[in-house]
Amino acid sequence: MSVYGTGVVFGIQMIGLLMGQSRAIVAGATLNPKDQMALHRGLMQQFITQGAKLSINPIQQVQKDALESGVEASRYDGLLADPDFKKREQNLFLVALNFLSLHERCHFGLDHGSKIDSILKQPVASQAIARHKLELDADKCAMDIINADEEGFAASPISYFGLLMTVTTQVIVSYASPESSSHPSTRTRLAEAQTRVLQFVSAKQGPGTEKYKGTIEGVGAYMADMIDFADANRAPRSKER
C-alpha cells in the first residue's frame, strides 16, 4: 500500500471497492431497512470469493445484487438520482479516502521513515511489533485529525467508518497475510480504532451519543464477521497464486 520516501500508491481496485462499499452501505439503508448491510455483505463476499482475478466491477455488482433481491430498476435508478442519496454516498466515500490519505500522511508527519530505518537495525524477532505500532499510530493520528474536523458538527463516529471501509478493503484487495511483518492484524486495527472512537464519542455527550455507540459496536461486530469470512476463504486463494 504505502511507499516510503517518494510517495504513496493507491490501487485502482481499492478506490473502486471503496466507492462500491459507500454505495452499498447508503443504498442498503434505504432499500432494505430490515437488513441494512445486506448489499454490503453481498458485495464483499463476491470480492472475497472471486479469487485472484479481482475482475468484479463493484458499482455494477451492487446494482446487480439490488435488482436480484427484488428492488425495481426504476426504484434503484430513482434512488441514485436523489440528491440526498448522492450527498450521503459522496460523504462516506470521501471520509474513506480522507482516512486513507491521512493514514499515509501521518506516516510522514510522524517521521516513520527514519523510525523504520532504525527498526530494521534491531534484531529481526522484535521488528514486527515495532512496525505494527507504527501502523496503529498512523491509524490513530488519521482518526484524530478527522475527529477534530468533525467536532464542530455532531461528534459523529464517521472517522470510524472511514477506517472500517479502508481496512476491510485492504484485507481483501492486498492479499495481505493475516499478520504480515509490517502490518498488524486487521482485528487489532479494528479493535484499537473502536476503542478510540468510543472514547471520542463518549467525551462529547450529546443527543446522539447512545445511538452512535450502538452503531459503532454493531458495525464493528459486522466487520469482524467479514474478516472471519475473508480468513476462511484466504487459503484457497493463496493456492491459486
Q: Which segment (4-12, 26-34, 128-136, 230-238) binds Zn ion by CB under 5 A?
A: 128-136
Q: Which is nearer to Zn ion, 3 or 124 (CB)?
A: 3
**DSSP string over 148-213:** HHHTTTT--THHHHHHHHHHHHHHHHH---TT-SSS--HHHHHHHHHHHHHHHHHHT--TTHHHHH
Q: CB of 237: closest distance to Zn ion in angstroms?
A: 23
Region near Zn ion per CB under 5 A, out of 45-53, 69-77, 131-139, 147-155: 131-139
Query: What pairs with residue 8 in β-bridges?
Result: 2
Nearer to Zn ion by C-beta: 23 or 103?
103
Cα–Cα distance between 123 and 104 in angstroms, integer? 26
Least separation in angstroms between CB 53 and Zn ion: 26
Cell of 136: 496503529
Identify which of 17, 9, 22 has the alpha carbon closest to the alpha carbon of residue 55.
17
Task: Tell me the closest approach of the beta carbon of residue 125 to Zn ion, in angstroms.
Answer: 22
DSSP state of 35: G
Interface with Zn ion: number of residues (CB under 5 A): 2
Considering only 60-68, 133-141, 155-163, 211-219, which stretch makes contact with Zn ion by CB under 5 A? 133-141
Least CB distance to Zn ion at residue 199 (A): 22
Binding mask 134-153 for Zn ion (x = CB under 5 A): -x--x---------------
Taking every pair of Cα atoms in the chain, the longest distance, rounded to a whole number of angstroms, is: 61
Query: Do 24 and 62 form a contact (C-beta atoms < 8 A)?
Result: yes
Interface with Zn ion (CB under 5 A): 135, 138
